[in-house]
Amino acid sequence: MKIIAIGRNYINHAKELNNPVPEKPVFFMKPETAIIRNNKPFFYPDFSENIHYETEIVIKIDKLGKHIAEKFAHRYYREIGIGIDFTARDLQQKAKEKGLPWEIAKAFDGSAPLSEFVSVNNFKDINNLNFSLKINNKTVQNGTTSDMIFSFDKIIAYVSQFVTLKIGDLIFTGTPAGVGPVNINDRLEAFIENEKMLDFLIK
């Protein structure tokens, strides 16, 4: 399986990092070794001094597809979850300045803590879904999928022009504004609507 992640999919987040609002989705990948499950802790890596959280709705592909039309894209996933796209912001900034790829800042081990997945039928409208992150019991990110520049279906249509989507692949769909650093001993709790989906520590 593979993890595809979308950058700059919320206007307010693109602006907070001084990035232009994209005309097409920006995507990058993380390897399977990035995943942390079952609320296991995230170990702060020694190669960075500025690890940021990015809270994102994650869709799980459950059907093989390539060149998927946007109008059929909803048939390719039935479950969503929430994840953190941990980013070594210091390394990413250097990569951006030099025009280098982002993997060093985005694809490292443990950079993708993931919740369990739940049926899209649990929600009235997945295109108007609230999600949030608390750190040490204080809300630091609060977003709604209605603010996405590119909807889930648009993302699937776009990405599948380049990359075949396979059963079990995951797509991180971008983060709203409010990203910031984590510190050792922080407790992170992520919610979809009012349901706590993730609860883990930084060690």
Closer CB to Zn ion, 30 or 134, in the complex? 30
Closer CB to Zn ion, 85 or 153, in the complex? 85
| Shortest separation between residue 124's beta carbon and Zn ion, angstroms | 25
Give me the residue label for tokens 């020694």.
46
CA 202 to CA 126: how far, in whole Å? Answer: 29
Closer CB to Zn ion, 54 or 169, in the complex? 54
Closer CB to Zn ion, 61 or 112, in the complex? 112
| Shortest separation between residue 159's beta carbon and Zn ion, angstroms | 14
| Shortest separation between residue 78's beta carbon and Zn ion, angstroms | 23
| Shortest separation between residue 142's beta carbon and Zn ion, angstroms | 16
| Shortest separation between residue 7's beta carbon and Zn ion, angstroms | 6
Q: Are 202 and 52 in contact (CB under 8 A)?
A: no
Token pair belonging to 173 = 């769909």
Q: Give the 3-state secondary structure of the chain.
A: CCEEEEECCEHHHHHHCCCCCCCCCEEEEECHHHEECCCCCECCCCCCCCEEECEEEEEEECCCECCCCHHHHHHHEEEEEEEECCEEHHHHHHHHHHCCCCHHHHCCCCCEEECCCEEHHHCCCHHHCEEEEEECCEEEEEEEHHHECCCHHHHHHHHCCCCCECCCCEEECCCCCCCEECCCCCEEEEEECCEEEEEEEEC
Closer CB to Zn ion, 9 or 66, in the complex? 9
Residue nearest to Zn ion according to CB distances in the complex: 85
Instruction: Name the site residues for Zn ion (rule: CB under 5 A).
Output: 54, 85, 175
| Shortest separation between residue 148's beta carbon and Zn ion, angstroms | 12
Closer CB to Zn ion, 115 or 175, in the complex? 175
